[in-house]
Every structure is written in C-alpha cells, then in structure tokens.
Amino acid sequence: MAGAMQGMKVLDMTHVMAGPFCTRQLVLLGADVIKIERPGEGDVMRYYGHDPRFGRNSPNFVGYNAGKKSVALDWTTELGAEALRRLVAEADVIVENFRPGVLQARGFGYEACKAIKPDIIYCSISGYGQESILRDNPAYDHIAQAMSGLMSLQGTEQDPPMKVGFPLVDTFSGHMAAFAIVSALLRRAQTGEGQRLDVSMLDASMVLMSAMILKYNATGDVPKRVGNKGFSLSATADMFPTKDRPISIGANTDKQFAALCKVLGVEELVADPRYQDASGRWEHADTLRPVVSAKIAEWEAEVLEVELNKASVPAAVVRDLKGIVAHPHFEGRPTFQSIDVPAWGREMKVLNGGFIANEDTPQSTVTSPDLGEHTEEVLRSLGFEGEKLESLIAGAQLS
C-alpha cells in the first residue's frame, strides 16, 4: 500500500497560501515536501493574525504546512545556490509562487532547473500567469475576486458587489496546481517527460465560475444576481426563515414540490393548476412563495430539516462553522486530523484531502515544521559536511 506520491520529492518554494495549500495536498498523497524558507522570518503566513498564543506558528500556517520539512536557506548566496541546485537535482516537482520572472532572473527558472533535472515538473503559481500582459501586477485573493468578476455574483440585484468571505481563489488556484502536478506526474509515468506548468489565479477563477461564464458566453447576458436562490432558480429553491434559524430548501422537481407541500401540510397547492410544473411555479412565484414561506416559518429549523430530508426534499439549516464542525457526520471520517503542535503545547484539527479512498486515503498525522527545523538533516542528506555545512547552518540561523 502506498500513496500516489510515495517516495517522490517536492521542492516547495512557495509562501502564504495558494502555493502551500497546493503542496499540502501533495503531502497528503505521500510526497516528501521540502519547504524552503528565508532565514530569520520564514513564510509570512507563520505570523498571520499576529496572535501571541500562536507565535510564529499561526493556525493557518500549521494547517497548510503540516507534514512538510522546513529548510532555512538563503539561496541568493553562492553556497546557498549550490545547496538549492542539489535540491533541484533530487526533486520530482518544484512549486514556486514568486512574481513571474523572479526565479528565472536568479538562475532557477524552468530551463535552468531542467538542465539540472531533465524530467523535472516545474509549477508556477501567480496572479495572472507567466506570459500575461498583466504578469507584473501583484495580486491577492480579494484582488483576483474583483478582477475576475467573482465579486459581481454574490448578493441580490440591490446589493453592492460582495466578495466571497474566505480566500476562495487562493485555495482553488492551489488545488488546481496540485491537479496540474499530479496530471504531469501521470504523463511523466508514460512519456518520461517533465513539464512546465503555469497556474494563474485569474484563469483558475474563470474555470471556477464556469457555470456563469458559459451562460454569459452563449447569451451575452450578464448574469443577474440571485441572492440565496438555488442554481435552478425554482420558486421553492431558496433560503427561508423559520421560528429560529434560516433553512435552505431545494424543491425543484414536481416530486420534490409535492413532497414539500405534504410536509408543510399544504397539499392543496399540488392540485392547483398554477403550480403544476416548474415553469408554472416560477411564473406564479408571487402567489406561491408567501404561502410556502408562511408555513415554513411555523417550524423549528432542525426539525424541518429532518422531515424534509426524510421526504427526499433537499434541505439544510443554514449553519455557521461551529454548527458544522461539531456535526456527527464527521465522527470517524478522515476529513479532520488531530495533530500535535509542540509550539503551542496542544493539539489542533487540520484538514486532510477531503475525499476517501478504500485504501490510502490522503492523510497525514505529521505536524508543521518549525522554521529551519530540517535544515541540517536535509543539507547532510545532500552531501554537505564540514565547513560548507557549518556555513550554511550559520546562514540559516540569521534573524
């Protein structure tokens, strides 16, 4: 038994989010990921939130970097560059998220690395791509959300543009990079060839919004914002208030509508000629909605959730993170993984890969590295010793 990337080496020259999220997925497949950090500070994500409880191991740093090794290395020095070249020579995959052109200018672009390791898979993650006319523009997640049109899609027609409330584009771009890398490894297994991969936050956003882009491309109509309505735009696919908390319901088909009416005790609606099919219900939403909403408002959300699901009507209470993380659904599943965080003196639950396999489900119980924790171990394994080793280690301890 073995993970898909067991025994493979990833040289991780990324920081903050999309890159580390990408290489975290590779850890979960069994890869040996070596994270290169700047001596002294390391990845700025270490300090995210500047919470004294967490020091230089913020929860997000821990979650994105668990299972990796950290090597503190100033590879802009001659000796540091030699160490980096030896790391390249041993790597199956390099991932980097510097600004386009930076690594190339410093002698570690794709061609240079390919000369060292002919079948290298070299993946760059950036805001706009390595060859874009926008390549020099800096980017953060919320900038990509503005640029890509993503912010224009949340809320109702009356609301201002509203971003997705978490770093969606960073996360998805990182996931796309992991997909690109594993695809390239599969191709290499057949052809023996490496590949240069170019992932951008802007292009990834387009794929993520496929559903809306496809409609727009075909019709030329800029999509109207639909608030909490389901993608079907059915009259009874929306969020509704109850006695306590809001609930989302998705009664699209005739069968689901009939079941909804039965649970709510308004079966007379099913026989009403106006509501015979989805288009009738859509056309007469202004008469249908108030009746249905009033009935839903008589329930407690969790009770209605159970009853509707029993009747095969898709429904879920609108939960917050506290509500879902504590849900018994996750008991015994590998979604979360408790790991020790020695720097905090306690455990934390991080995310595994998010899917289950009958064998070798992507997962890892290893914690995140302290800055430079593996510098000496890795340098020794690369053959450094004596003065050179001491010099590299001294450089790694700068602060």
Interactions with its own copies, residue window 122-161 (CB under 8 A): 127-134, 136-149, 151-155, 160-161
Q: Which is nearer to its own copies, 70 or 173 (CB)?
A: 173
Q: Which of 10, 184, 288, 379 binds its own copies (CB under 8 A)?
A: 184
Q: Which of 32, 54, 296, 375 binds its own copies (CB under 8 A)?
A: 54
Signed CA dihedral, 132, 17, 21, 196: sign only: positive
Q: Which is nearer to its own copies, 9 or 86 (CB)?
A: 9
Residues 231-270 that bind its own copies (CB under 8 A): 231-232, 237-239, 246-250, 252
Q: Which is nearer to its own copies, 231 or 385 (CB)?
A: 231
Q: How far is the CB of 301 from its own copies (least distance, A)?
A: 10
354 binds its own copies (CB under 8 A): yes
Residues 204-223 that bind its own copies (CB under 8 A): 204, 206-220, 222-223
Candidates 52-60, 77-85, 101-109, 388-396 — which segment interacts with its own copies by CB under 8 A?
52-60
Contacts of 48 (CB under 8 A, 6+ apart): 58, 60, 61
Q: How far is the CB of 366 from its own copies (least distance, A)?
A: 16
Instruction: Tell me how far apart the alpha carbons of residues 306 and 161 are, in angstroms, rounded to a whole number.
Output: 34
Element at 337 (helix H, strand E): strand 336-341
Taking residues 322 to 341 in sequence order and writing x for each that binds its own copies by CB under 8 A, - otherwise, the string is: xxxx--xx---x-xx-----
Query: Is 51 in the active site?
Result: no
Closest by Cα among 55, 51, 66, 54 to 20: 66
Name residue 66's beta-bridge partners. Answer: none
- Which residue of the set 12, 43, 92, 170 is catalytic? 170
293 binds its own copies (CB under 8 A): no
Closest by Cα among 233, 268, 266 to 252: 233
Contacts of 295 (CB under 8 A, 6+ apart): 264, 265, 266
Closest by Cα among 10, 74, 14 to 44: 14
50 binds its own copies (CB under 8 A): yes
Candidates 62-70, 71-79, 372-380, 384-392 — which segment interacts with its own copies by CB under 8 A?
62-70
Output the six-digit token pair for 270. 């099913």
| HSE value, Cβ hemisphere, 13 Å, CA-based, for 275 | 27
What is residue 352's DSSP assignment?
-
Q: Which of 87, 264, 292, 317 binds its own copies (CB under 8 A)?
A: 317
Q: What are the backbone dihedrals phi and psi of residue 340, each rounded to the nearest 5 degrees, phi first?
A: -70, 140
Output the six-digit token pair for 97. 């998220």
Q: Which residue numbers are catalytic? A: 170
